[in-house]
Structure 1
Amino acid sequence: MIKHYHYRIGRLLKLLHEAEGPLTSNEICKKLAIKPRTLRNDLSHYRDALGENGVELNSRPGKGYQLVVRDEEKYCQLIKIILETEHRQHFVAPVRYKERVDYILRSLLSAEGYTKLDELAEEIYISRSTLNSCMKGVRHALSGFNLILYAKTASGIKVAGTELNIRQAMAKYFFYDDEHRQPEEDSRKAVRQKIMTILTDTLKEHQLVLTDTGFQNLVVHLEIALMRIESRHGDAALPINYKALKERDEYRVAEQLVIRIERAFAIPFPAAERYFIAIHLAGKRSLHHHQTFAATQDISRLFDKISQQIVADFAIDLADDFELFHLLSLHFIPMIDRLNWDLKVHNPLLEEIKQENLKAFEMAVLAGKVIQQETGLEVNEAEIGYLAIHFVLAIDRKGVSCQRYNLIIVCASGMGSSQLLLYKIRQRFSDSIREIKVVQLYELTDFDLTGYDMILSTVDVPFKTAIPLMRVNYFLDARDLGQMESWLSSKQQSHRPVSEYFHPSLFFTDLQSAERYQLIAELCQRVALYIPTSADFLPSVIEREKLSATAFGDAIAFPHPLHPCGEHTFVAVALLKKPVNWDKHEVRYIFMLNIRPGEKEPLQWLHESLVSLMGDKKN
């Protein structure tokens, strides 16, 4: 059996396993970001060992490499070993920039004292200069929790900040970042189960309901509390305004929780712990539809201002949507508690929401800005993501065009795959689709296309068709969904061609800046040489970017002003020579959008057109 191997072998097997056919060495090298010589060396070194474990990498001249499994049982065992080893390697010796940053964060957050940088660099087999580069990412990540790195001559560095903020950072990098987390020990699972039982019983007795995510977050918080107290880090200062917190029902529940956990684990909790737990309870309550809710005047005014801003920027009136008002009112109460106590939430759906529901996300950004102006509380990106979900539903309720379309699905992989594709289309586009017909490729030549609007095919169709044809994957990835939405949008509205928003003078390949905000400023200055922009254009783009990064994957960023401004709708494009770190993504293509006030063409349609254009790797 293979016991020692490079992590690339696991990635190579996964790549070939998921491929529909042979992959050329160029395709493999591009996807794995390696050189052809490295691939040849790996294949030569591991070919015999892989053969002993039931798998062969067949080379087909002119076509490429293909995975052939000879012994399923041996292959499954091999994959298990590879995954376990890769998991261990990722934790002990990270190789990518983000993995190194995450490892350093975990190391510093769990350290009891100072850590010397030279020892840290040696621990993960990197040079001091590479470590210094990683430390920029570490400082940026810590700043999101209001934490800093404190340096002491001859001793090293350590994380400095409030105990609550240190614990929130630990929750993210030890518990929520599943990708590189070590497998849990049985003892840790037993601790978690005991905490869950105590928490469930206490909440039932006090008739306090948490959201599912809130419940899991509190379990994690209590686990970390036990870890910190055991390592003598639990004696923290009382939170600001703790006296007001003591009057709330959540504090009484927290007292009962602490008494039971102290008894179960034989560990005395410091006084501040009750307040930390009460803050978590207050920020994670679940208020339901059936509960009687008397909206305060402040929340009603907040909703009115949010609605007015959405009308001004999107020409969509949601003021009379009582369902949205009710749901946002219920959402605002625990959210404002979280913001007041600086309690960060984890939002695993954030990137998906940003990519697939841009209009709703931009509405949520506006809502967050209004909340900040009215309350003085800064709404973080994770909270904006949760607000966006309410706007997704509100947009749906506002109504989609009543026109529906008939589709044909061409699927060569059997009924199971076609049914999966059919289900996903029905689920995603239920308001726009009337009939879907599944046919085989050979049937398509004689099929009567009258009454059908488009063909979706999972295979290449080698002849012309009388109606539009779209090539898609079995599982409808983000590119496919973007293309579908763009097509439906173009059918339902008489948009001008997207090319009208571009101009040759607004394409740039020679920007010099290497930092996100400097790039935005440089691009705004270059645009102003060719097209009149308002004085508030750059400040508004920067303001929007600071609320939530506008990179959505595929190396693309879409910076734009917080509000429509100027007299022209346009797209300026910058192609960078080297990728630039754009918060959580590496970006090489910048599409700067500006929508003028009163523009009928919405941001959503323009964005979807660009996503479908750039989502296709050939394009």
Structure 2
Amino acid sequence: MALVNRWYRILEILVAQPNTSLEAMRKELGISMKTLLTSIEQLNDVLDEAVQIRQKTNRLYLEVYDYARLETILAGSLRKESDFNSSNKRASYLIKRLIQAVSPLLIDDLAEEIGVSRTTINKDLKHIKSLAKDYQIRLSGRPNRGLEMIGTELQLRLFYLHHVYSYFETDILTKEMYRFLKDLCRDYKIPRKTQELLIKVIAITVDRVQQKKLLTAPISYYVNELAESEMIEQLIYHVELTYQISLSQYEQDFLSFPFNIQYLDKLAYRPIERQEVENLYGKMIKQVKDTLLVDFDEKQLFFEMQTHFKFLLNRLIFHVQANDIFHGEIQNKYPLAFEMARVSSEELAAHFGYSLGLSEISYLALYFELVLHGNEGASYRQKHQIAVVCTTGRGTANMIKRQLRRVLGNEIEITQYSEEDFNPKLNDHYFAIFTTIPLKLEHLNSPVIQITHLFDDQWLREEWQRVSHYHRKNLKTITLKFSRLAKADSYKEYLMAMISELEQSALVDADFRRRILERERQQSTIFGNDVAFPHTINQLSTKTVLMLGILEEAYQTDKESLEFIFLLAIPSEIESQTEAELLDLYDDIFQIAGDKELKTALRQVKNQAEFVIFTKEKGVL
């Protein structure tokens, strides 16, 4: 990653998360800690005191005293100030020349223009070819004829938009146009970021139309819900009048896209139903269900997310991604929903040839989480019966009750006992028992929480989550099995060994083996992070069967590594209780897949008894 681009990535991450750990930043950039610290020091030297990155212990903080200055920097001022010693600026210049050229360009001529060697130009062109893949553009060159860039007009414009304007100013917009845009954006309260994108889009539209490089077809999957709005009509009229050009509906749609990639409060969107959008949504959901075998109300999901989905598709079409929301934490908090979003993103990436970033996947995951667990709020609103048992005085007991109610809210009803009053035989029916005397209550069926860090809110919430998790896991609808797997020559051999154990235990039907292999032929169930998740329907049992296989020796191929196989046999008919626990089970599997500490602990498990202990101690599976 070139230095200037690294600076911008650091700033973008800190704008999204102003308080970020050094390690998280290092992993995000894929560089060494020394390189990161040097880059931050260099960036601070370039920035003035209005914007600075501070380090306290192992965390980075973005301090901003002049937001106008920060916005100018984010708009590309540092890139524009760079020279041709920057490989990215050279690449930007070459893209500019190739897209604007009316005939092929010779490498020697380009090298002379920039003042670098032919070898350097060839390296830059290799980089450009890599960038162009995201836009389905190819760089074509023949000896004695020269280079030319080949792609659709839409993709050429987008390539220019995202890889040229950051480094070179535009002189197409007149002072009158700038004044008009300033008034328009003030009247409709258009965000600064959208304004900057709009200026670039107007400039490239005018330039290409004047060159007779026109859009000649509708933009697939694009939903322009502002086509008939007063604001867009004003904008189109002013552009046509100022530059004496005529904009077709296709050009108007392109010019409008900066307003159609996120919802802006002051704009009059008119909802449009597009069958191709619904069809694409259907393909995406089918892929999720086929891959994960999880069931949910897809109509309800579409109802909840259709506006977001339209804007998401628009962002994919125009290569603009949301990167300032929900960064990083959703994957840990909602593992199953995140995995569903990740599978969805792969389907969309295959369709558009452009991958979704972490923030986009995380945002999508929230909608899946909503449809998976949206109805659980009703059960949580039921009052949970809590007991407080302690040897201290009434004042301390009241303090404990107040703290519990303050942190846990109104979903609890608290009964207070002294040590002498509490009868284990009569009072063993509580959702949780908070106590200062846990050893005397260790044989109860009710979950017991020893009061050690009562005024640590985070500790209390974690303990409450653990208790809630215990109650969900105590539904007894899952059979757990465990096996250490001796070295084999293929993933299929490991699977066959595990299935044989399940067949010998009479836990799966005779056709289970065939269904697993059929799914594997359709799509590999090795999910990455050293984890495989083969799963299919089981006709034999009404319980879910989960078998964990830990490989004695990691299985390696050119593309992947494997240590843990979670083999899941799912009942063909699932009751609501079983379904709820199955969703929790999915969450746990994907939580383990993304948690190095849990996988380290799991590697130490040797047998079925230790596996059961692991599940109880770690609160998973």
TM-score, L = length of structure 1: 0.48
Which of the pair has the greater relative contact order for Cα pairs under 8 Å at 6+ separation?
Answer: 2
Query: Who wins on radius of gyration, i.e. which is larger?
Result: 2
